[in-house]
Amino acid sequence: MDPEKTKRLKSIKILVSEALMVFIVIITVVILALIVSGYWVNSDFQVERQGMLQVSSTPTGASVVIDGESSWLQRTNTSKVLASGEHNVTLTKEGYDSWSKTINVAEGLLYRLHYPRLFLIDRTVEKYHYLPDATQAIISPDHDLLLVTNKTTNWLLINLAEESPKPREIDISSFFQSVDMAPESKIGLFTANIVDADWDHDETHILFEAQNDTLTEWVLLDVRNPQNSINLSREFGGLFSDIEILDNSANNLLAIQNGNLHKIDVSGKSISAVLVDNIVEFDHYENELIYLANKSEEPSTPAYEVGLMKLGDNNRTSILNTVQPAKVALSKFYDKKYISILKENTLSLYDKNNLDDRKDFVLSFVPNSLKIGHNGEFIIMANGNQMAVVDMEANDVVEWAIEGEQYGWLDNDMLYTVTDGNLIVYDYDGLNRRELAKNVSNHFPVTITENKWLYYFSDDYIMREWLISR
Protein backbone atom coordinates (compact mmCIF):
# COMPACT_ATOMS: atom_id res chain seq x y z
CA MET A 1 0.00 0.00 0.00
CA ASP A 2 1.15 3.49 -0.79
CA PRO A 3 2.79 4.89 2.40
CA GLU A 4 1.59 8.39 1.58
CA LYS A 5 -1.99 7.18 1.15
CA THR A 6 -1.81 5.27 4.45
CA LYS A 7 -0.49 8.38 6.16
CA ARG A 8 -3.35 10.47 4.75
CA LEU A 9 -5.94 7.91 5.89
CA LYS A 10 -4.50 7.93 9.42
CA SER A 11 -4.59 11.71 9.47
CA ILE A 12 -8.22 11.69 8.33
CA LYS A 13 -9.12 9.16 11.06
CA ILE A 14 -7.39 11.28 13.68
CA LEU A 15 -9.21 14.42 12.49
CA VAL A 16 -12.56 12.62 12.42
CA SER A 17 -11.96 11.16 15.90
CA GLU A 18 -10.96 14.55 17.32
CA ALA A 19 -13.94 16.26 15.64
CA LEU A 20 -16.22 13.54 17.03
CA MET A 21 -14.75 14.01 20.52
CA VAL A 22 -15.23 17.77 20.29
CA PHE A 23 -18.80 17.25 19.10
CA ILE A 24 -19.51 14.82 21.97
CA VAL A 25 -18.02 17.26 24.50
CA ILE A 26 -20.09 20.13 23.11
CA ILE A 27 -23.27 18.06 23.11
CA THR A 28 -22.52 16.87 26.70
CA VAL A 29 -21.90 20.41 27.89
CA VAL A 30 -25.12 21.62 26.22
CA ILE A 31 -27.12 18.76 27.74
CA LEU A 32 -25.66 19.40 31.18
CA ALA A 33 -26.34 23.13 30.84
CA LEU A 34 -29.94 22.37 29.88
CA ILE A 35 -30.30 19.98 32.83
CA VAL A 36 -28.85 22.58 35.21
CA SER A 37 -31.30 25.11 33.74
CA GLY A 38 -34.13 22.69 34.46
CA TYR A 39 -34.78 21.18 31.02
CA TRP A 40 -35.56 17.48 30.77
CA VAL A 41 -37.20 14.95 28.45
CA ASN A 42 -40.48 13.69 29.90
CA SER A 43 -42.06 10.26 29.47
CA ASP A 44 -43.68 11.43 26.19
CA PHE A 45 -40.21 12.33 24.86
CA GLN A 46 -41.04 16.02 24.96
CA VAL A 47 -38.54 18.58 26.21
CA GLU A 48 -39.88 20.54 29.19
CA ARG A 49 -38.30 22.81 31.74
CA GLN A 50 -38.36 21.52 35.29
CA GLY A 51 -37.64 22.82 38.77
CA MET A 52 -36.09 21.31 41.86
CA LEU A 53 -37.59 20.53 45.24
CA GLN A 54 -35.41 20.43 48.36
CA VAL A 55 -37.08 18.85 51.39
CA SER A 56 -35.97 18.89 55.02
CA SER A 57 -37.90 17.90 58.11
CA THR A 58 -37.80 17.79 61.89
CA PRO A 59 -37.08 15.06 62.81
CA THR A 60 -34.96 14.04 59.83
CA GLY A 61 -35.43 10.87 57.83
CA ALA A 62 -39.13 11.19 57.06
CA SER A 63 -40.47 9.42 53.98
CA VAL A 64 -41.44 11.70 51.11
CA VAL A 65 -44.53 10.98 48.99
CA ILE A 66 -44.90 13.21 45.92
CA ASP A 67 -48.22 13.18 44.07
CA GLY A 68 -49.11 9.89 45.72
CA GLU A 69 -45.93 8.11 44.65
CA SER A 70 -43.21 7.04 47.07
CA SER A 71 -39.84 5.34 46.81
CA TRP A 72 -37.45 3.95 49.39
CA LEU A 73 -34.90 6.41 47.97
CA GLN A 74 -37.08 9.41 48.85
CA ARG A 75 -36.24 10.74 52.30
CA THR A 76 -36.08 14.23 53.72
CA ASN A 77 -32.85 16.24 53.59
CA THR A 78 -32.60 15.43 49.88
CA SER A 79 -33.39 17.15 46.58
CA LYS A 80 -35.50 16.01 43.65
CA VAL A 81 -36.07 17.30 40.10
CA LEU A 82 -39.78 17.85 39.39
CA ALA A 83 -41.84 19.05 36.47
CA SER A 84 -42.93 22.65 36.89
CA GLY A 85 -46.42 23.15 38.26
CA GLU A 86 -48.40 21.95 41.27
CA HIS A 87 -47.33 18.95 43.33
CA ASN A 88 -48.60 17.46 46.58
CA VAL A 89 -45.87 16.63 49.08
CA THR A 90 -46.58 14.38 52.07
CA LEU A 91 -44.10 13.46 54.81
CA THR A 92 -44.52 10.46 57.11
CA LYS A 93 -42.41 8.80 59.79
CA GLU A 94 -43.22 5.84 62.01
CA GLY A 95 -44.45 6.96 65.44
CA TYR A 96 -45.10 10.53 64.26
CA ASP A 97 -48.03 12.36 62.72
CA SER A 98 -47.91 13.32 59.03
CA TRP A 99 -47.40 16.62 57.19
CA SER A 100 -48.58 17.65 53.72
CA LYS A 101 -48.77 20.63 51.41
CA THR A 102 -49.49 21.43 47.76
CA ILE A 103 -46.65 23.48 46.29
CA ASN A 104 -46.04 25.21 42.98
CA VAL A 105 -42.62 24.48 41.48
CA ALA A 106 -41.41 27.15 39.06
CA GLU A 107 -39.38 26.41 35.92
CA GLY A 108 -35.65 26.43 36.51
CA LEU A 109 -35.94 27.41 40.18
CA LEU A 110 -35.35 25.71 43.52
CA TYR A 111 -38.29 25.36 45.93
CA ARG A 112 -37.20 24.81 49.53
CA LEU A 113 -39.38 23.05 52.08
CA HIS A 114 -37.20 23.42 55.15
CA TYR A 115 -39.79 23.89 57.89
CA PRO A 116 -42.03 20.75 58.02
CA ARG A 117 -42.28 19.43 61.58
CA LEU A 118 -43.69 16.05 62.55
CA PHE A 119 -44.84 15.58 66.14
CA LEU A 120 -44.35 12.40 68.12
CA ILE A 121 -47.76 10.81 68.69
CA ASP A 122 -47.12 9.29 72.14
CA ARG A 123 -45.27 12.03 74.01
CA THR A 124 -43.89 11.88 77.54
CA VAL A 125 -45.23 14.74 79.70
CA GLU A 126 -43.30 16.06 82.71
CA LYS A 127 -43.96 18.73 85.34
CA TYR A 128 -40.88 20.82 84.77
CA HIS A 129 -41.07 23.59 87.39
CA TYR A 130 -43.62 24.95 89.87
CA LEU A 131 -44.25 28.70 89.52
CA PRO A 132 -47.39 29.67 91.42
CA ASP A 133 -46.69 33.42 91.50
CA ALA A 134 -45.58 34.00 87.91
CA THR A 135 -47.08 37.06 86.19
CA GLN A 136 -45.27 36.94 82.85
CA ALA A 137 -42.69 34.86 80.98
CA ILE A 138 -40.40 36.12 78.22
CA ILE A 139 -38.76 33.67 75.78
CA SER A 140 -35.35 34.42 74.24
CA PRO A 141 -34.95 34.50 70.43
CA ASP A 142 -33.35 31.03 70.26
CA HIS A 143 -36.05 29.64 72.60
CA ASP A 144 -33.50 28.49 75.20
CA LEU A 145 -33.85 31.08 77.99
CA LEU A 146 -36.99 32.00 79.90
CA LEU A 147 -37.27 34.98 82.23
CA VAL A 148 -40.22 34.63 84.63
CA THR A 149 -41.49 37.75 86.39
CA ASN A 150 -43.69 38.08 89.49
CA LYS A 151 -44.92 40.80 91.85
CA THR A 152 -41.75 40.66 93.94
CA THR A 153 -38.31 41.90 92.97
CA ASN A 154 -36.84 38.40 92.71
CA TRP A 155 -37.36 37.17 89.16
CA LEU A 156 -36.21 33.84 87.75
CA LEU A 157 -34.02 33.04 84.74
CA ILE A 158 -34.39 29.44 83.50
CA ASN A 159 -32.30 27.69 80.87
CA LEU A 160 -34.84 25.46 79.11
CA ALA A 161 -32.10 23.64 77.19
CA GLU A 162 -30.78 21.98 80.34
CA GLU A 163 -31.97 18.50 81.31
CA SER A 164 -32.19 19.45 85.00
CA PRO A 165 -32.16 23.24 85.21
CA LYS A 166 -31.54 25.30 88.31
CA PRO A 167 -33.47 28.60 88.06
CA ARG A 168 -31.34 31.62 88.89
CA GLU A 169 -32.79 34.54 90.85
CA ILE A 170 -32.33 38.08 89.55
CA ASP A 171 -32.91 40.91 92.02
CA ILE A 172 -34.40 43.84 90.10
CA SER A 173 -35.13 46.07 93.11
CA SER A 174 -32.53 48.75 92.27
CA PHE A 175 -33.32 49.02 88.56
CA PHE A 176 -37.03 49.81 88.54
CA GLN A 177 -38.60 52.82 90.18
CA SER A 178 -41.83 50.82 90.33
CA VAL A 179 -40.75 49.07 93.54
CA ASP A 180 -42.09 49.39 97.07
CA MET A 181 -39.90 47.97 99.81
CA ALA A 182 -41.93 45.67 102.04
CA PRO A 183 -41.48 46.81 105.68
CA GLU A 184 -41.49 43.26 107.04
CA SER A 185 -38.62 42.01 104.86
CA LYS A 186 -35.85 43.02 102.53
CA ILE A 187 -37.83 41.78 99.55
CA GLY A 188 -39.46 44.55 97.53
CA LEU A 189 -42.75 44.48 95.68
CA PHE A 190 -42.85 45.19 91.96
CA THR A 191 -45.88 47.45 91.46
CA ALA A 192 -45.85 48.07 87.69
CA ASN A 193 -47.31 46.24 84.72
CA ILE A 194 -44.93 45.15 81.98
CA VAL A 195 -46.26 46.58 78.72
CA ASP A 196 -43.54 45.17 76.47
CA ALA A 197 -40.29 43.23 76.74
CA ASP A 198 -37.74 42.42 74.02
CA TRP A 199 -34.54 40.38 74.10
CA ASP A 200 -31.44 41.39 72.18
CA HIS A 201 -30.08 38.88 69.65
CA ASP A 202 -27.15 37.91 71.87
CA GLU A 203 -29.65 37.03 74.60
CA THR A 204 -27.80 39.02 77.23
CA HIS A 205 -30.29 41.87 77.72
CA ILE A 206 -34.04 42.44 77.91
CA LEU A 207 -35.56 45.86 77.26
CA PHE A 208 -38.64 46.49 79.44
CA GLU A 209 -41.38 49.05 79.16
CA ALA A 210 -43.22 49.15 82.51
CA GLN A 211 -46.15 51.29 83.65
CA ASN A 212 -47.95 52.00 86.89
CA ASP A 213 -50.47 54.68 87.85
CA THR A 214 -47.91 57.48 87.92
CA LEU A 215 -45.08 56.72 85.51
CA THR A 216 -43.78 54.84 82.47
CA GLU A 217 -40.19 53.67 82.65
CA TRP A 218 -37.79 51.86 80.38
CA VAL A 219 -35.19 49.49 81.84
CA LEU A 220 -32.44 47.56 80.06
CA LEU A 221 -31.89 44.45 82.18
CA ASP A 222 -28.57 42.63 81.86
CA VAL A 223 -29.54 39.03 82.64
CA ARG A 224 -25.95 37.76 82.89
CA ASN A 225 -24.62 40.63 84.98
CA PRO A 226 -27.65 42.30 86.59
CA GLN A 227 -25.50 44.90 88.33
CA ASN A 228 -24.85 46.41 84.87
CA SER A 229 -28.55 47.00 84.22
CA ILE A 230 -29.68 50.56 83.55
CA ASN A 231 -32.91 52.50 84.04
CA LEU A 232 -33.03 54.47 80.80
CA SER A 233 -35.81 56.79 81.93
CA ARG A 234 -33.87 57.77 85.04
CA GLU A 235 -30.49 58.02 83.26
CA PHE A 236 -31.57 60.12 80.29
CA GLY A 237 -34.66 61.93 81.61
CA GLY A 238 -37.67 62.94 79.61
CA LEU A 239 -40.48 60.73 78.38
CA PHE A 240 -39.76 58.01 75.84
CA SER A 241 -42.68 56.83 73.72
CA ASP A 242 -40.66 54.03 72.11
CA ILE A 243 -37.24 52.44 72.42
CA GLU A 244 -35.75 49.67 70.28
CA ILE A 245 -32.51 47.71 70.53
CA LEU A 246 -30.23 48.69 67.64
CA ASP A 247 -27.44 46.10 67.73
CA ASN A 248 -27.06 42.46 68.75
CA SER A 249 -25.79 43.10 72.29
CA ALA A 250 -27.88 46.20 73.14
CA ASN A 251 -24.92 48.58 73.27
CA ASN A 252 -26.91 51.06 71.20
CA LEU A 253 -30.61 51.88 71.18
CA LEU A 254 -33.00 53.98 69.11
CA ALA A 255 -35.51 56.03 71.09
CA ILE A 256 -38.35 58.45 70.43
CA GLN A 257 -38.29 61.28 72.96
CA ASN A 258 -40.74 64.18 72.67
CA GLY A 259 -41.61 63.09 69.14
CA ASN A 260 -38.01 63.06 67.93
CA LEU A 261 -35.73 60.10 67.20
CA HIS A 262 -32.40 59.80 69.03
CA LYS A 263 -29.65 57.22 69.34
CA ILE A 264 -28.62 56.13 72.85
CA ASP A 265 -25.08 54.92 73.56
CA VAL A 266 -25.59 52.68 76.60
CA SER A 267 -21.95 52.14 77.57
CA GLY A 268 -21.09 55.81 77.03
CA LYS A 269 -24.33 56.89 78.71
CA SER A 270 -24.99 59.53 76.07
CA ILE A 271 -27.92 60.44 73.84
CA SER A 272 -27.49 61.89 70.36
CA ALA A 273 -28.93 64.97 68.76
CA VAL A 274 -32.19 64.58 66.86
CA LEU A 275 -31.88 62.11 63.98
CA VAL A 276 -35.42 62.55 62.65
CA ASP A 277 -38.01 64.99 63.95
CA ASN A 278 -41.79 64.50 64.16
CA ILE A 279 -41.33 60.77 63.78
CA VAL A 280 -44.37 58.50 63.84
CA GLU A 281 -42.67 55.11 63.63
CA PHE A 282 -39.45 53.51 62.46
CA ASP A 283 -37.63 50.26 61.83
CA HIS A 284 -34.00 49.36 61.25
CA TYR A 285 -31.78 46.66 59.84
CA GLU A 286 -28.10 46.74 60.81
CA ASN A 287 -27.08 50.41 60.45
CA GLU A 288 -29.91 51.52 58.18
CA LEU A 289 -33.11 53.18 59.30
CA ILE A 290 -36.50 53.54 57.67
CA TYR A 291 -39.00 55.97 59.17
CA LEU A 292 -42.43 57.55 58.80
CA ALA A 293 -42.39 61.24 59.73
CA ASN A 294 -45.26 63.70 60.03
CA LYS A 295 -44.55 66.62 57.70
CA SER A 296 -47.93 68.31 58.03
CA GLU A 297 -47.94 71.98 58.93
CA GLU A 298 -51.70 71.91 59.48
CA PRO A 299 -53.38 69.18 61.56
CA SER A 300 -56.33 69.21 59.15
CA THR A 301 -54.01 68.43 56.20
CA PRO A 302 -52.17 65.15 56.78
CA ALA A 303 -48.78 64.75 55.12
CA TYR A 304 -46.29 61.96 55.78
CA GLU A 305 -42.85 61.10 54.45
CA VAL A 306 -41.33 57.64 54.28
CA GLY A 307 -37.57 58.04 54.32
CA LEU A 308 -34.39 56.00 54.50
CA MET A 309 -31.10 56.94 56.13
CA LYS A 310 -27.87 55.34 57.22
CA LEU A 311 -27.01 55.88 60.87
CA GLY A 312 -23.96 58.07 61.21
CA ASP A 313 -24.79 59.74 57.89
CA ASN A 314 -27.09 62.78 57.81
CA ASN A 315 -28.09 62.15 54.18
CA ARG A 316 -31.66 60.93 53.76
CA THR A 317 -33.46 59.29 50.86
CA SER A 318 -37.14 60.15 50.52
CA ILE A 319 -39.01 57.08 49.27
CA LEU A 320 -42.52 58.47 49.05
CA ASN A 321 -44.88 61.13 50.36
CA THR A 322 -48.39 60.16 51.35
CA VAL A 323 -51.48 61.58 52.97
CA GLN A 324 -52.17 58.19 54.55
CA PRO A 325 -50.33 56.89 57.61
CA ALA A 326 -48.26 53.80 56.90
CA LYS A 327 -46.31 51.08 58.64
CA VAL A 328 -42.72 50.51 57.55
CA ALA A 329 -40.10 47.78 57.92
CA LEU A 330 -36.62 46.86 56.69
CA SER A 331 -35.53 43.27 56.13
CA LYS A 332 -33.05 41.03 54.37
CA PHE A 333 -33.70 37.72 52.65
CA TYR A 334 -30.73 35.83 51.27
CA ASP A 335 -28.44 38.59 49.96
CA LYS A 336 -31.08 41.22 49.15
CA LYS A 337 -32.50 43.96 51.36
CA TYR A 338 -36.16 44.90 51.18
CA ILE A 339 -38.38 47.80 52.22
CA SER A 340 -41.97 47.05 53.28
CA ILE A 341 -44.55 49.83 53.31
CA LEU A 342 -48.08 48.97 54.46
CA LYS A 343 -50.80 51.47 53.59
CA GLU A 344 -54.36 50.46 54.43
CA ASN A 345 -54.76 47.01 52.81
CA THR A 346 -51.79 47.14 50.42
CA LEU A 347 -48.24 46.03 51.19
CA SER A 348 -45.63 47.43 48.80
CA LEU A 349 -42.39 45.48 48.78
CA TYR A 350 -39.34 47.28 47.32
CA ASP A 351 -35.85 46.12 46.46
CA LYS A 352 -33.85 48.54 48.60
CA ASN A 353 -31.12 48.90 45.99
CA ASN A 354 -33.59 49.37 43.14
CA LEU A 355 -36.71 51.21 44.23
CA ASP A 356 -38.23 50.77 40.76
CA ASP A 357 -38.41 47.05 41.51
CA ARG A 358 -41.63 46.87 43.50
CA LYS A 359 -44.39 44.34 44.07
CA ASP A 360 -47.78 45.10 45.63
CA PHE A 361 -49.77 42.60 47.70
CA VAL A 362 -53.42 43.62 48.04
CA LEU A 363 -55.14 42.08 51.07
CA SER A 364 -58.81 41.51 51.81
CA PHE A 365 -58.52 43.32 55.18
CA VAL A 366 -56.67 46.26 56.74
CA PRO A 367 -53.90 45.04 59.08
CA ASN A 368 -52.92 46.99 62.19
CA SER A 369 -49.50 45.36 62.58
CA LEU A 370 -46.48 44.67 60.39
CA LYS A 371 -43.66 42.38 61.53
CA ILE A 372 -40.68 40.64 59.96
CA GLY A 373 -40.19 36.94 60.70
CA HIS A 374 -37.02 34.97 61.33
CA ASN A 375 -34.23 35.63 58.79
CA GLY A 376 -36.56 37.88 56.80
CA GLU A 377 -38.35 34.90 55.29
CA PHE A 378 -41.85 35.99 56.32
CA ILE A 379 -43.62 39.34 56.44
CA ILE A 380 -46.52 39.04 58.88
CA MET A 381 -49.57 41.31 58.99
CA ALA A 382 -52.54 40.88 61.31
CA ASN A 383 -55.71 42.44 62.65
CA GLY A 384 -57.57 40.49 65.30
CA ASN A 385 -57.78 36.90 64.11
CA GLN A 386 -57.04 37.77 60.47
CA MET A 387 -53.54 36.93 59.27
CA ALA A 388 -51.64 37.63 56.06
CA VAL A 389 -48.15 36.25 55.55
CA VAL A 390 -45.85 37.01 52.62
CA ASP A 391 -43.63 33.99 51.95
CA MET A 392 -40.45 35.43 50.44
CA GLU A 393 -39.37 31.98 49.24
CA ALA A 394 -42.54 31.52 47.18
CA ASN A 395 -42.92 35.28 46.49
CA ASP A 396 -46.60 35.05 47.37
CA VAL A 397 -49.03 36.00 50.12
CA VAL A 398 -51.46 33.76 51.98
CA GLU A 399 -54.39 34.88 54.15
CA TRP A 400 -56.04 32.84 56.89
CA ALA A 401 -57.81 33.20 60.23
CA ILE A 402 -56.43 31.96 63.54
CA GLU A 403 -58.66 30.56 66.26
CA GLY A 404 -58.89 33.35 68.81
CA GLU A 405 -57.15 36.72 68.56
CA GLN A 406 -53.79 35.99 70.21
CA TYR A 407 -51.00 34.09 68.55
CA GLY A 408 -47.33 33.39 69.14
CA TRP A 409 -44.41 31.77 67.34
CA LEU A 410 -43.78 28.21 68.43
CA ASP A 411 -40.46 28.19 66.60
CA ASN A 412 -39.22 30.17 63.61
CA ASP A 413 -41.82 28.80 61.19
CA MET A 414 -44.88 27.70 63.20
CA LEU A 415 -47.53 29.69 65.02
CA TYR A 416 -49.74 28.67 67.90
CA THR A 417 -52.92 29.75 69.63
CA VAL A 418 -54.51 28.62 72.89
CA THR A 419 -58.29 28.36 72.61
CA ASP A 420 -60.40 27.07 75.52
CA GLY A 421 -57.23 25.55 76.98
CA ASN A 422 -56.36 23.68 73.76
CA LEU A 423 -52.92 24.30 72.29
CA ILE A 424 -53.28 24.50 68.50
CA VAL A 425 -50.31 24.82 66.12
CA TYR A 426 -50.14 25.75 62.44
CA ASP A 427 -47.53 26.29 59.77
CA TYR A 428 -46.98 29.96 58.97
CA ASP A 429 -49.63 29.68 56.23
CA GLY A 430 -52.31 28.17 58.48
CA LEU A 431 -51.89 24.64 57.09
CA ASN A 432 -51.17 21.43 58.99
CA ARG A 433 -53.31 22.42 61.96
CA ARG A 434 -52.76 20.13 64.95
CA GLU A 435 -53.91 20.09 68.58
CA LEU A 436 -51.00 19.24 70.87
CA ALA A 437 -52.13 19.67 74.49
CA LYS A 438 -55.05 20.52 76.76
CA ASN A 439 -55.44 22.65 79.89
CA VAL A 440 -52.82 25.10 78.61
CA SER A 441 -52.65 28.64 80.02
CA ASN A 442 -53.09 31.38 77.43
CA HIS A 443 -51.31 33.94 79.64
CA PHE A 444 -47.84 32.50 79.10
CA PRO A 445 -45.80 31.62 76.01
CA VAL A 446 -45.43 28.22 74.39
CA THR A 447 -42.14 27.22 72.78
CA ILE A 448 -40.01 24.43 71.35
CA THR A 449 -36.42 24.16 72.58
CA GLU A 450 -33.54 22.24 71.00
CA ASN A 451 -36.09 20.53 68.72
CA LYS A 452 -36.56 18.09 71.62
CA TRP A 453 -38.99 19.66 74.09
CA LEU A 454 -42.32 21.42 73.97
CA TYR A 455 -42.87 23.82 76.90
CA TYR A 456 -46.11 25.38 78.09
CA PHE A 457 -47.76 26.51 81.35
CA SER A 458 -50.56 24.58 83.04
CA ASP A 459 -51.94 24.88 86.60
CA ASP A 460 -48.95 26.91 87.91
CA TYR A 461 -46.46 24.47 86.39
CA ILE A 462 -44.15 24.72 83.42
CA MET A 463 -44.89 21.50 81.54
CA ARG A 464 -42.43 19.73 79.26
CA GLU A 465 -43.25 17.20 76.56
CA TRP A 466 -40.66 15.16 74.67
CA LEU A 467 -41.00 15.63 70.91
CA ILE A 468 -38.60 12.87 69.90
CA SER A 469 -38.32 9.15 70.69
CA ARG A 470 -36.24 8.48 73.81
The string of pLDDT tens digits covering residues 65-98 is 999 887 655 888 878 888 888 999 999 999 999 9
- Using one digit for the tens of pLDDT, what is the confidence trace for 118-137? 999 999 999 999 999 999 99
How big is the chain by its Cα radius of gyration, in Å?
Answer: 29
For residue 165, the model assigns a pLDDT of 80
428-456 per-position pLDDT tens digit: 999 999 999 999 999 999 999 999 999 99
Quick one: pLDDT at residue 45? 46
269-302 pLDDT, tens digit per residue, is: 999 999 999 999 999 998 899 999 999 888 778 8
How many of the other CB atoms lie within 10 Å of CB of 338?
22
d(CA 353, CA 372): 19
Q: How far apart are CA 137 and CA 447, in angstroms?
A: 11
Query: What are the C-alpha distances in Å from 191 to residues 46, 116, 168, 181?
Result: 74, 43, 22, 10
